[in-house]
Amino acid sequence: MWHVFRREMDRIIPPDTVKHVGVPFERSQTFLEEAGWRPIGKPLMYSYEVRHTPNQILDRYRGRCYSMSWRIADADHARLIAALEAMAREIYGDLDREIVEQNRFVVQAYRPPN
């Protein structure tokens, strides 16, 4: 569900107008090795089930929980929230209906540069 909201955010607020905090997403998989860090072993993946409602995801956007929204002007943020709410109603109908999704995260150990 998060990816659906993120795509809509990118449609409403063009990504090149948002100043992100930290490593740019497109470099998130490569920046450590570019800086000389070396992977140790293979990545490990953990899958798990998540239960949430569209309204819970919307609340995170309303509260600017994601760093990508920290520097969006208030007027643009209000426009974004209205668009996200409309999109969520169209896709999910009841915004308080629980959605069950499979999520995962991947971890990788690294050795620092010499």
Domain enclosing residue 68, as ranges: 2-111
Q: How many domains does the chain have?
A: 1
pLDDT tens digits along 24-63? 778 889 999 999 999 999 999 999 999 999 999 999 999 9
Q: Count CB neighbours of 113 within 10 A.
A: 9
Q: Answer yes or no: are the C-beta atoms of 48 and 104 closer than 8 Å.
A: yes
Spatial distance between the Cα atoms of 80 and 18, rounded to a whole number of angstroms: 13
Name the pTM for this structure. Answer: 0.72
Q: State mean pLDDT over 72-93.
A: 91
